[in-house]
């Protein structure tokens, strides 16, 4: 990603749903052996978070407590639950506890990804307004001349 020029304001962080619906979420769940290499579509520390449906608190995905791994994949446990599976050490995390005391079950409703939005610099709208006004004045003068 290119760094924005220094004159533009810093991008605004927004968290949007990672999966649009139940089916997309279900398609992302792996079963059996998932391999140790990070793959596109993995959940990553810093890029993904879980939103508590109880208090709307955002719980960022944290590095693996066992090995510090930063890539996770959704995987079904032997008990049928969906868990975060660490790519590096294969440890599974099936309970995400929120500070409000809720254990947040993984679903398409709670998984979010970070997007950076570049805000429109305040000068841009004014500049376009001036250009539009100048065009209008030019047009009026042209009509008068004809």
**Residue numbers at the binding site for Zn ion (CB under 5 A):** 52, 54-55, 57, 64, 66-67, 69, 86, 88-89, 91, 98, 100, 102
* Angstrom distance (rounded) from CA 52 to CA 41: 22
* Angstrom distance (rounded) from CA 83 to CA 106: 7
Q: How far is the CB of 39 from Zn ion (least distance, A)?
A: 16
Q: Which is nearer to Zn ion, 28 or 98 (CB)?
A: 98
Q: How far is the CB of 35 from Zn ion (least distance, A)?
A: 14
Q: How far is the CB of 47 from Zn ion (least distance, A)?
A: 17
Q: Which is nearer to Zn ion, 43 or 52 (CB)?
A: 52
Q: Which is nearer to Zn ion, 7 or 56 (CB)?
A: 56
DSSP sequence for 17-76 = ES-SSHHHHHHH-B-S---SS--TT-EETTTEEEE-TTT--EEEPPPPTTT---EEEEEE
Q: Which is nearer to Zn ion, 102 or 107 (CB)?
A: 102
Q: How far is the CB of 92 from Zn ion (least distance, A)?
A: 10
Burial per residue of 12-26, b for 16 or more beta-carbon CB atoms within 10 angstroms, e otherwise? eeeeeebbeeeeebe
């Amino acid at each position: 990603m290119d760094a924005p020029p220094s004159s533009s304001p810093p991008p605004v962080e927004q968290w949007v749903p990672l999966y649009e619906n139940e089916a997309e979420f279900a398609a992302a769940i792996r079963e059996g052996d998932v391999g140790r290499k990070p793959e596109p579509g993995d959940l990553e520390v810093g890029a993904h978070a879980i939103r508590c449906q109880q208090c709307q608190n955002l719980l960022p995905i944290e590095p693996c407590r066992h090995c510090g791994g930063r890539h996770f994949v959704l995987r079904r446990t032997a008990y049928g639950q969906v868990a975060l599976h660490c790519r590096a050490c294969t440890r599974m995390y099936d309970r995400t506890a929120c500070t409000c005391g809720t254990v947040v079950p993984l679903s398409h409703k709670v998984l979010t990804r970070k997007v950076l939005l570049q805000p429109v610099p305040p000068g841009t709208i004014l500049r376009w307004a001036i250009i539009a006004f100048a065009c209008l004045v030019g047009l009026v003068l042209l009509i008068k001349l004809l």
